[in-house]
A and B are shown apart, each in its own frame.
Chain A
Amino acid sequence: MVWSLIKKDLLENIVEFRFFIFSALIVSLMGFSGTILSLQYAEQLDEYDTMQAENRQLISQLSGNLKKLAQGLSGSETTFELQLTQLFRRPSKFQFINKGRDADFPNAVPVNVEMLGKPYTQSKSNFFMPRFLVIDWTFVISILMSFVALIFTYDAFSGERENGTLSSILSNSVSRSSLLLGKYIGASVTVGIPLLTGIVLNVLIIILSPVMVFSNYDFLRIFVIAGVSLVTISVFICIGLLVSSRCSNSLTSLVITLLIWVVLSLFLPISGGLLAKQLRPVPSDEVVEQRIQAAGRAVMDSFREKYGNDVELFTGDPERDKLAILAQKEVRKSQRDIRQDYEHAKLSQVAFSQNVVRLSPISVFQYIIESITNTGLPGYRRWIEQAKAYQMQFRTFIETKDAQDESSDHIIGLGDSYMSEKPVNPDEVPVLVEQPVRISAAFASSLTDVFLLFLYNIVLFVLVFVSFLKSDVRSV
């Protein structure tokens, strides 16, 4: 019974215009997106390789003098060109899945023996472009496909009710639950076909690109994401069916479903951000800048109080300058602490808003993608952690080399410092190798959100069931 109902719905849907139009739309968008994003990825990878090569060259240049290498900057007096040793984040190969939420994160950070500098975005090539959504999987699936799913189901019951066919069907020995199941599966297949076709086309195009290298685990990730997309679509199908079962008029159910879509896709993310700004406020950049300056001054003042004005004098004698060097270090440390607090506050604001926004299945889907592909906020944080670990590694390296030099005073730091200036072999300098996230870890971190998505699905399906069971089938 259910099977023939499904068949009926499928045929109805597929023969109609809407199936072709939307399928064409989705598949062509995915194809377009695959082409464009793989081109852009190739470009970004080129840029990344260039930056890495330049950085290595800089390190070789600086390796002639351990102190210069430690301080990580080179500049000459006639050219005033300041070059810093840096760490760059490799562009993620999963950009075709989630570029939109990844591109705004910093992908470069200066590094030296004392600290990591401020992370920044390497290529600012988006000057004067209006803000635009990147057409990647996240966009197509979470925003477009959810819309399409609603459009395919808003009149599932209300339309039949209006036409009078609902009462006809149920007056035969067709149980409500089988009708419901039929509608659900029919809609899932109708929406799932264009989606899966689009995904397959997209992946094919991506694989064709010479710079893309996928391991088996990567394919596993893609497969899992495709599965999760189907679950997300199912959530929206349930929403459409739910509204449809409660409305006697197709138009009303349409307006309501569209409203719901607007709330879930636009409203919730925005209000999450606003709420976070209110409840977890972060001081403005100007305020932080002033705090940093003030902290520096405060440290210098306290040193001056204790030790007199000598603290600012650099005489060239390591013994006498120890204090001054220490003062400078304390200044930088206090400023660094303020910056770190600021970063923490910003990140906790983001985390808070994300929790609020988890009410929307669209956002839950986006977070799952970010966890599995290691992009977006989790990817960024992981990279920063690796950068910090590298910085410690670099420091240890410098200290070890410095300890081997007996003529050095072993006062290591930025600015004026008295340490070994012997050359080192550039090949011995540690290099940051970005560890890809192990598949088990990636899946584990997305588990809560996947669970949440399934929960939404189950709850909504039950609601649809209950709602339809009790609804009135007459067309009046």
Chain B
Amino acid sequence: MWSIIKREVISNILSFRFGACLLLCLVLTALTMPVLLNEYKENLEDYNERIIRNREELDNVKTYSSLKPKIERLPEVFSIFNKGIESQFSKSCQISEGRIPVSLPEDETADPLNMFLDMTGSEQIRTDEKNELLALFPSIDLITIIQIILSLLCVIFSFDAISGERERGTLRMLLSNGISRSTILIGKILGGYFGIALSLVLTFILLLIFLTSSPYIKVNTDIVIRLGLLFVSTFLYLSFFFLFGLLFSSTFRKSRISLLLCLAGWIVLVIVIPNMSPTIAHLSVKIPSDKEYTMQVKDIENIYNKAINDFYEENEPARYVYTNSSQDTRMDGQISFAYTYPERILFHVALVNFSRELRGKLVGRITAIREKQAQRFAYRLRVANRIGMISPSVLYAVATSAICGSDLETYQTFISAARQYRNQVMKYIDNHDGYSFRYFTNIDYSRYMALTNEISPSDIKTLEKPEYSEFVSFLRDMETKSETLDLDDFPRFQYKSKPLTDMLPGVIGLWGILILFSCILFVGTFVMFIRYDPR
């Protein structure tokens, strides 16, 4: 038995086919890895720049109302291998009280339940600069190459395993020497598996070399384990196609027929089904248009805005303006108190508390609506994947995207981490008594109140009297020497990517299905080969 296997293995490895395919494998890897690593490097640099910019913005924050940190999603290392749908996930998420993060690729800077009614910023035409023409360039990742090209190569290997032997006349000789059919078959299979494993080992070693030589990637146990999982997934996938070719080979007498049918099957499994299942899912899972959800959300926003408006109308005190400026609210969320009367501060504090309560109630409702939308999209994706799972190509794609962190679950992990962070931020603001006058100003409140109490109402319109010079200089200092918030103990966002153990059960389940398919193929091959006429 072992000598048969040895013979198979050696003849496989020494064949022209194997050499050409191995070469192709290694060349493809060597050509695509630098490009993919470069893309990753750019993403990482982009990420770092955004982090720096966010930190600078935080350093300039003066009031708690503008304490809206932006958090960034760390690019996954393994998106090099499988892009999945990772490019659709938002890269940043703005944390604010008016918005709970939802796993939708939405505009991350929207802040609907804003307390201040003035529209700061007058850019009326959208400034979303995402490159719309990007889709013209097909993006490759290694997994796609393996999915398509390597599976084709495996089929090429095995389509004439049995029928070729018959055509060459060697099958007869083997059988007439008392070698059992099962031995021959197992020999072929193990020989093929060995060839696949050998090529994969060499390819993955090459991958590892590329990874370690990149200064941007730290190869730790997590990466090695993921590579191992990818190796197993790829081996299972490719061995399926080897068995696929073997089945046809042991059914048909002529290698040509076996090849053609194999290729037809390959086209259906690798090209047609993975591209048809999303189309079918699209048609069968109806998702209400974005407009409908947006309108529901806008309704709630209108409730909020109307309530704020009403509050203004009921409680806003008469305004005294010291200068000609009509601006009450500055862009950084501060109210300019130089231009108002002290009662206005009290009004604003009441407004802060009123809006906080109201916002708490309404933001939950808005989130529920957006969650429903997100769930529909997630459901549609699941349907597309489930329908496609009759094809090992889709099984492979789903498994690898889970391993590589480019699937929806990874994004959802990020979003729930963002929500927890939001809670931390809100607690922080609460602990520092941020929902008071500190929400919209950082002046020395008590001193201001003391000073303005000394001003007689008739003098409010002009402060030219010498006894008000202290007040005037206080105001001037406030304008120029505005201090930023002390954020030493502000919680920072720690990004924790999904632990491996979470996705392991799913991946192993998919492996199970692949193995099941392979077993079915094996049984089929066995049955067909038993009846095979070697002449």
Contact = CB atoms under 8 A, between A and B. Distances in A.
Interface of A: 16-18, 21-22, 25, 29, 32, 36, 39-40, 47, 71, 73, 77-82, 84, 101, 104-106, 110, 112, 115, 117-121, 123-125, 127-135, 143-144, 147, 151, 155, 159, 250-252, 254-255, 258-259, 262, 266, 269-270, 273-274, 276-277, 282, 284-286, 288-289, 292, 342, 346-347, 350, 353, 377, 414-415
A24 B90 CA distance: 43
B287 interface: yes
Nearest to B114: A80
Contacts of A276: 137
Contact of B126 (A120, A134, A151): A120
Given A25-B268, A129-B278, A255 B131 contact: no
A439 B300 CA distance: 51
B264 A25 contact: yes
A135 B132 contact: no
Given A123-B289, A252-B16, 14 more contacts: A128-B85, A128-B408, A129-B85, A130-B381, A131-B85, A133-B275, A255-B16, A258-B156, A274-B35, A285-B130, A289-B127, A292-B129, A350-B136, A350-B137
B129 A288 contact: yes
A353 B105 CA distance: 30
A173 to B, nearest CB: 28
Interface core residue of B130, B133, B271 (most chain A CB under 10 Å): B133
B129 A130 contact: no
A36 B149 contact: no
B10 interface: no
A262 B156 CA distance: 14
Given A144-B271, A255-B156, A258-B156, A125 B289 contact: yes
A18 B261 CA distance: 7
A255 B17 contact: yes
B160 interface: yes
A284 B136 contact: no
Contacts of B319: none
The 4 closest A-B pairs by CB, nearest first: A104-B135, A273-B137, A18-B260, A117-B125
A21 B127 contact: no
Contacts of B397: 130
Contacts of A132: 274-275, 278-279
A258 B128 contact: no
B82 to A, nearest CB: 10
Contacts of B461: none
Interface in B130-146: 130-133, 135-138, 140
A110 B127 CA distance: 12
A18 B255 CA distance: 12
Contact of B132 (A101, A120, A266, A292): A120
B131 A285 contact: yes
A160 to B, nearest CB: 12
Contacts of B42: 284
B75 interface: no
B46 interface: yes
B289 A128 contact: no
Contacts of B35: 274
A95 to B, nearest CB: 13
Interface stretch (B1-9, B302-310, B502-510, B521-529): B302-310
Contacts of B119: 80
B129 A289 contact: yes
A21 B261 contact: yes
Contacts of A151: 260, 263
Contact of B124 (A16, A82, A159, A284): A82
Given A21-B264, A270-B138, A81 B298 contact: yes
B257 A79 contact: no
B154 interface: no
A155 B263 CA distance: 15
A79 B299 CA distance: 9
Interface core residue of B20, B83, B88, B274 (most chain A CB under 10 Å): B88
Contacts of B287: 125
B191 interface: no
